[in-house]
Structure 1
Amino acid sequence: MLSELAKRDTGTMTSKDERLLFLEQMKDVRRIRRPNRAQVSTPKELTPGHLERQRAAVDARSPDANPLTASDVDPLTAQDILSWQRPGVQHGVFRKLRLGQYPIEARLDLHRMTVEQARREVFGFVKDCVRYGLRSVIILHGKGERNPDGIAQIKSYLARWLPELDDVLAFHSAQKHHGGTGAVYVMVRKSDQQKQRNREIHGAR
């Protein structure tokens, strides 16, 4: 050991000498086989209190901004006609909508959807129509003729939902070639951008 240290002091140690010296000094050292860190594990069972707090946290992060009714509504049958217009909509405009004389710019098909799925789709669809400037659209809701009770469930909810949306100006059951009482024409209000463009166009004349 002294000879090795002497070599190191005089600067004459080779890399091999240094490695041998290191191994000699570390011969009594043993590796720690268990990791030197805390063991953290999640509880195997969550109490009802934990679950309730988790649900409350999720609800607080993602509130339901959808205003459409989720509870029971008045039932409609296959042959019931949907018809509604917001005050201020001109009769001539509503007549053209009822007769299917406006070009259909977009469609939403609610067939085979649950009520909750349809609720989300209708809300998002109308918002998208406003965003992209689509005025005359159609929603296919089905007639419910195969239901044992004869109730057209999605149609019944849709009749309640559409007037709840401020962006909907009017709606009416479609003409036969567009689905008849299994579909509905919907007139959507102009977006703020469209209104501004119209003001600029008419103001420039």
Structure 2
Amino acid sequence: MITKNDRLSFLEEMKDVRRIRKPNRAEITSPRELTPGHLERQRSAVEKPLKDANPLTADFVEPLTAHDILSWQRPGIQNGVFRKLRLGQYPIEARLDLHRMTVEEARKEVYQFIEDCVRYGLRSVIILHGKGERNPDGIAQLKSYLAKWLPELLAVMAFHSAQKRHGGTGAVYVMVRKSDKEKQRNRELYGSG
């Protein structure tokens, strides 16, 4: 029970306390003055445009037709491994469909797709590029660019036009290198250095 003396004592102690007039919230207005660090970042962003990390070239490529077969392998790929790839005997772990894409869109998609395959440990994939049979000049444009791009990607170990059941000369099987994590796991499992 609070007595009159307790109340008077409390009021005496609180006599110098003043109410806070500002709301109990943080101020989130942006500063009006630009700091030297802000100015430097702004200047740097204007001077250095973003560099495209995509190494795939978009210059002239050798034109290919609907029935040309794509076939390439890095030195050191075993013949039996390449044969299995060529015959479509590896399970297809992912697919990328380039139909109706521009060359620039396909360039970005192929680069990102192969990067993702390495990141997620996908080794055997397929890219559907089409045959270009509807083109009046008979040139399979995306196929032609793909034949140039795939060897430019260090993660691509080999590729070959697909079997008829997977799209024939309108698609390509791609063998992707193991990720560093996968290589380390194999070393631990099989003890090779």
Amino acid aligned to 2:126 = I
Aligned counterparts of 1:140 and 1:59: Cα–Cα separation in 2: 39
Q: CA deviation at 1:62?
A: 1.4
Number of matched pairs:
150
Q: CA deviation at 1:59?
A: 7.7
The runs of at least 4 consecutive aligned structure 1 residues that moved more than 4 Å come to: 56-59
Q: In structure 2, do the counterparts of structure 1 residues 202 and 142 end up closer, same or farther at CA, with 3 Å as the change threshold?
A: same
Aligned counterparts of 1:90 and 1:59: Cα–Cα separation in 2: 48
Q: CA deviation at 1:63?
A: 0.6
Candidates 138, 146, 151, aligned match of 1:163 = 151
Correspondence 1:43-192 to 2 at 5 A: 57=45, 60-192=48-180
Aligned counterparts of 2:49 and 2:62: Cα–Cα separation in 1: 33
Q: Which of structures 1 and 2 has the bigger CA Rg?
A: 1
Q: CA deviation at 1:71?
A: 0.9
Q: CA deviation at 1:202?
A: 1.2
Aligned counterparts of 1:141 and 1:165: Cα–Cα separation in 2: 17
Q: CA deviation at 1:69?
A: 1.0
Q: Residue 172 of structure 2 aligns to a residue in which SS?
A: strand
Q: CA deviation at 1:61?
A: 4.0
Aligned counterparts of 2:157 and 2:168: Cα–Cα separation in 1: 20
Which residue does the alignment assign to 1:3?
Answer: none
2:189 maps to 1:201: yes
Amino acid aligned to 1:180 = G
Structure 1 length-normalised TM: 0.71
Q: Give unpaired runs (5+ residues) of structure 2.
A: 1-43
Aligned counterparts of 1:113 and 1:72: Cα–Cα separation in 2: 18
Amino acid aligned to 1:71 = D
Q: Give unpaired runs (5+ residues) of structure 1.
A: 1-55
Amino acid aligned to 1:167 = A
Q: Alignment RMSD, CA only? A: 1.7
Aligned counterparts of 1:199 and 1:95: Cα–Cα separation in 2: 25
Q: CA deviation at 1:57?
A: 4.9
Q: In structure 2, do the counterparts of structure 1 residues 203 and 183 end up closer, same or farther at CA, with 3 Å as the change threshold?
A: same
Q: Could you say which structure has the higher helix fraction?
A: 1
